[in-house]
Amino acid sequence: MSDTAPKPRPQFRNINVTDLMHYRLPMAGKVSILHRISGAALFLCLPLLIALFAMSFVSEAGFASMSKVIGHPLMKLILLGLIWGYLHHFCAGIRYLLLDLHIGVDKESAAKSASVVMGVSLALTVVFGLKLFGVW
């Protein structure tokens, strides 16, 4: 007689919102989610950016008032977030274009390119953030 009894099948139940905090996404999944978030943030903040851009071209007084608005530390933090969003969206977009061309679609290359996207976008954000806050 055989000693191998059939293993009980795993039971999959509905998940709760609290269960989502225990999942570990690979880096490619995190980059994908952040790509969507950064795209939405850039789209939603487009009226703010257009208003600041238009304010700077109206007159010298408009440029001075725009400079005063951007000089506020809270506005600089918002702009830093938008800078990161743009740089991340740009770098991840290049990654997705390469994936569409079937370059780097295997698991190891995809994980490496996702890590490169995160590293490059954060490094560029630091450089532009230092410029934004007046270090250079």
Task: Express each pLDDT in 26-78 by its tens digit.
Answer: 999 999 999 999 999 999 999 999 998 999 999 999 999 999 999 999 999 99
Quote the pLDDT of residue 73: 94
Contact call for residues 52 and 69 (beta carbons, < 8 A): yes
- Asked whether residue 121 is domain-assigned, the answer is yes
For residue 32, being part of any structural domain is answered with: yes
Domain assignment present for 100: yes
Number of domains in the chain: 1
- How far is the C-alpha of 27 from the C-alpha of 117, rounded, in Å? 10
Residue 12 lies in a domain: no
Does the residue 18 lie in any domain? no
Entry pTM? 0.81
Q: pLDDT value at position 29?
A: 94
Domain of 121, in residue numbers: 28-132
Q: Which sign does the torsion angle of CA 130, 131, 134, 136 carry?
A: positive
Contact 99, 12 (CB under 8 A): no
Instruction: Tell me which residue has tokens 């994936």.
Output: 99
Q: Tokens for 14, please give them.
A: 């509905």
